[in-house]
Structure 1
């Protein structure tokens, strides 16, 4: 039975009045998608003209400009992210446009992947999580916590391109299903068998499983096994940025937006998920921008790389569109927020950020 929430809030989940009856969340399922290292500058501003015109970063200027450039900012960001701007912005919330006063930051000091995913999923910016080494995470994550609840047991699944996720989520301890990089899916479903073949035979131009195969594995698992919590972790935007391939970085980001549109279409056509599912889209860290050549990199020595963004759409999410008021959100708040959307209070042995609604409580 979901916990009832009595709050006067203005947040991701809507606006409640203190003198009305207690409200109950409508969210029964969560889909979390992360686009590794995708900058807020592209999410809110579209293609960067300086990087687009730099031949060191954009090999195919004509083709890339035809696909993603327009002098009008609102047009070009829709060209790059049509789902985010035509669907999420119209029916949900977008946070992190610093030019409009909305700030989203990581709280960990390291500003790279493992510390970022740890913070996001455990709610704790643990200073001892300071490398990308494949070591089992000692911190309890929110997916593990949800999986321990009776109604969610065995209904949490993770599909990631980067093979560090079984360690980030401590798969042996947490007991959640994590399919990562070249793992064999090993299910009888024929579509999943085909994906086994695809992931074993496909080229790996950025060194990990292509994001489209990670997505297709997660999508077909959703259709076949109906998890309550599905997390899809993309990787290519980070790898292509590190390689200095701005045109391919944009192409990958655009393709991932199309995958978001596809999974949302599937969700909204299935009675188990329709109007009962919250989709959360974000990233693990930012990248350089003040010094343009640092767009490739991130970390505590790169200015701007602690700046991120957040997009949310679902039955408990008040339609606010692009947030243009002064606010400060932190990645450490996401774990408790995910649990709260399901009517749960995430508890663990470590400190954690509060659900995002608390900063709006009157």
Structure 2
């Protein structure tokens, strides 16, 4: 056989193998994990709070806000606030955490603020001894993102985006090697899209109300552009505005932010349903890192009742469409990471205190 023929056959073998691998990767389960920082179950399941929406202390323009979000029933109010969640997700997925029906989702950590909450979601366990502040300290624990990224089959297929500047430390970007774009970081690389270039130019020109949290529209659009180009198989998006507007006592902005985030999540979902890499094989898992007080709604923490109360939403590829759960149940944030391992057909981690969700897939 001629040398040129051997080279040609070798080339085609590599080409066919590469295509086969690409097709196999396309069929694998993809996961989009999303958090809305400090967003209460009360607004998610019952819409705008009557007392707060009428309180001039927390609302600058009550009439405008009520026209936008106030309706006669909780069901109508929640649709007005989160139309994608209640018009679409409720028909194709599962919404856990409406305590009015005894569907209970809690954090298991005793701290009940952001870093410990994210640690629990991402590692499958609380760590009250070592994770006890919101400081920019690298997480000693290994997240599910890092575990998946350490698998040679998924190397380079994991990414994270966050509005809060502490997210890279929670994921331990330095040790894990996972690309994290958070805080006021810009997109980087030699092959940025025109939209990423525009976002980089715009971000520094649009002031954020906070020193360590950027506006969620930047986080969401950076993530979406990355998904278009790099096609990660596991991606984490952490939105931050709802928590900070609540701390500021700005209920008007808190509701508007939740409404905008609903639209941002819909945009990402719609992309996954059009893109061949994600279509029909992607599951979205959405939750929050902690709750808030029912009366002390601006606050959360170990001494604020209600801070342990969270919620959990799952929808997408072959997820049982159970809608809003209206039966007694007890779930925890520490179940999210082991559920991701199970969905990606990874070995169970005995160090994770949480158990994978049951009754999830069809």
Same fold per superposition (TM over 0.5): yes
| Count of residue pairs brought into register by the alignment | 330
**Deviation, structure 1 residue 321:** 0.2
Secondary structure of 1:78's match? Answer: helix
Alignment deviations for residues 39-65 of structure 1 (CA, whole Å, 9 cap, x no partner): 000000000010000110111111111
Distance 1:77 1:300 in 2: 28
Aligned partner of 2:325 in structure 1 is 323
Distance 2:159 2:142 in 1: 16
Greater shift, 191-200 or 146-155, is seen at 191-200
Alignment deviations for residues 112-150 of structure 1 (CA, whole Å, 9 cap, x no partner): 000000000001101121111111111010000011112
Alignment deviations for residues 323-360 of structure 1 (CA, whole Å, 9 cap, x no partner): 01100000011100011111223437x442111229x9
Aligned partner of 2:175 in structure 1 is 173
> Highest Rg: 1 or 2?
2
| 8 Å CA contact 2:31, 2:233 repeated in 1 | yes
Aligned partner of 1:210 in structure 2 is 215
Aligned partner of 2:204 in structure 1 is 200
Aligned partner of 1:337 in structure 2 is 339
Secondary structure of 1:146's match? Answer: helix
Distance 1:345 1:251 in 2: 41
Distance 1:182 1:235 in 2: 12
2:272 aligned with 1:267 = yes
Aligned partner of 2:356 in structure 1 is 355
Q: Give 4+ residue runs of structure 1 displaced > 3 Å after superposition.
A: none
2:153 aligned with 1:151 = yes
| 8 Å CA contact 1:339, 1:346 repeated in 2 | yes
**Deviation, structure 1 residue 235:** 0.5
2:254 aligned with 1:254 = no
Question: Please, what is the CA RMSD of the aligned residues?
Answer: 1.4
TM-score, length-scaled by structure 2: 0.89
The gaps in structure 2 that reach 5 residues or longer are 1-26
Which one has more relative contact order, counting CA pairs under 8 Å at least 6 apart? 1
Secondary structure of 1:201's match? Answer: coil
Aligned partner of 1:184 in structure 2 is 186
Aligned partner of 2:313 in structure 1 is 311
Distance 2:56 2:106 in 1: 31
Aligned partner of 1:115 in structure 2 is 116
| 8 Å CA contact 2:123, 2:352 repeated in 1 | no
Distance 1:296 1:121 in 2: 25
**Deviation, structure 1 residue 316:** 3.0
**Deviation, structure 1 residue 232:** 0.9
